[in-house]
Amino acid sequence: MKKDKKSTPKQKATPVAPATPAATPVAAAMPAASAQATLAKGSPAAPKKKRKVVSLDKKKARAGWFFVLPFVIGLILIYLPIIYDSIKLSFNEIIIVRGGGYNLKFVGLENYQTALFKDPDFITTLTGGLTQLVIDIPAIVIFSLFMAVMLNQKMVGRAAFRAIFFVPVILSTGLMAEIDAANILAQNMNSAEDQSGAQVETGTSQIVSAMEVTALFETMKVGTGMVSTITNLVNNVYNIINRSGVQMLIFLAGLQSISPDIYEACSIDGATSWETFWKVTFPMISPMILVNTVYTVIDSFTSSTNTVMGYIQSYYDSTSQVVSSAMAWVYFIIVLAIVGVVTGLLSAYIFYQRRD
């Protein structure tokens, strides 16, 4: 018997995928591990946060704020309330209350008008003080720069000479300044009375006289104003040296920051010392000149030996506290304006070396 052939559907041949290279054990294990982690946590693993890298400049800035933090705290808690009270007093009048205490009556700009237009001694003292400081400030900066250049040279005993020039700065502060101010012997040596009872200057307080300077410049036809200026500078040389210590240290730091390779290149090119100073040294320390000038201006205007500061203090003690506060703020505005003008003029000629 013939067997019946059953019709069966023909199956389509499935394409065979091309052979792939066998996966490495590490690559095969990674999907399994990630799958297990996903099943265990129920969510995909969160990426790790990158640690923020702080630049060196920001670290230095933070360290700087850390060091000035005591000053900032003292400024906010102690100094700012005093400034506020001083401003408030300058616009008010003090009225004493019976039984103790006082009240403040607002008077506007009346105290400032009294200081500027009704008190001629304040204007005279202010004008004289400003004129003297216009002469003293350049003399201090120039002298400190000259001595810094000299003390930066290689010589025997250089450290001792630097210490000697900085000693007056130490002696003119704190307790030593009070002892010097109470030195009656020195005051009697600096002045004496002639037969008529008038005060005359002795040889210990004057180095040269106007007559000697006039005789020195008689062939040059120098005016009396120049003679008086030179005489005051020479006789004031002690104060100039006394107030030049800090500026000298700042100039020394600037001079030592100049690379010796620059001076070596100048000597190879045949530049003289004079040319090297004006073409290399002076431009490189010009930022220090700006810093020292601003420092000298502020130090001179706020010094205890300043005639204007002395007049304001005496007016506060003897006459009126509110008017003296107005005088102090007028003086502060003038000082601030002078600092701004000096900074603006010198900033146009400052050379800043690029470090990159």
Judged by DSSP in three states, 92 sits in: strand
The span from the CA of 329 to the CA of 82, in Å, is 13
The span from the CA of 255 to the CA of 262, in Å, is 12
For residue 94, how far is the Cα from the chain centroid?
37
Asked if 240 contacts 144 with a C-beta cutoff of 8 angstroms, the reply is no
The span from the CA of 180 to the CA of 62, in Å, is 41
The one-letter code for the residue type at 273 is: S
| Structure token pair of residue 177 | 């300044």
Q: Which of 104, 57, 114, 56 is nearest to 84 (CA)?
A: 104
Asked if 240 contacts 141 with a C-beta cutoff of 8 angstroms, the reply is no
Provide CB contacts within 8 A for 94, sequence distance 6+. 102, 103, 104, 321, 322
- Provide the residue-wise pLDDT of the chain in tens; the chain has 356 residues: 444 444 444 555 555 545 444 444 444 444 554 545 554 455 555 566 666 777 888 888 888 889 999 999 999 999 999 999 999 988 988 888 887 777 888 888 888 988 888 888 888 888 888 888 888 888 899 999 998 888 888 888 777 877 777 777 776 665 555 665 555 555 555 554 444 444 444 444 555 565 666 666 656 666 666 667 777 777 777 778 888 888 988 999 899 888 889 989 998 989 898 999 999 999 999 999 999 999 998 888 877 778 888 888 888 888 888 888 999 999 999 989 989 998 998 888 888 776 55
CATH superfamily name and code, 112-172+243-356: MetI-like (1.10.3720.10)
The span from the CA of 159 to the CA of 145, in Å, is 17
| Structure token pair of residue 231 | 């005489």
Asked if 300 contacts 136 with a C-beta cutoff of 8 angstroms, the reply is yes
Question: So where are the chain's domains?
Answer: 112-172+243-356, 191-238
Q: How many CB atoms lie within 10 A of CB 313?
A: 14
Asked if 146 contacts 236 with a C-beta cutoff of 8 angstroms, the reply is no
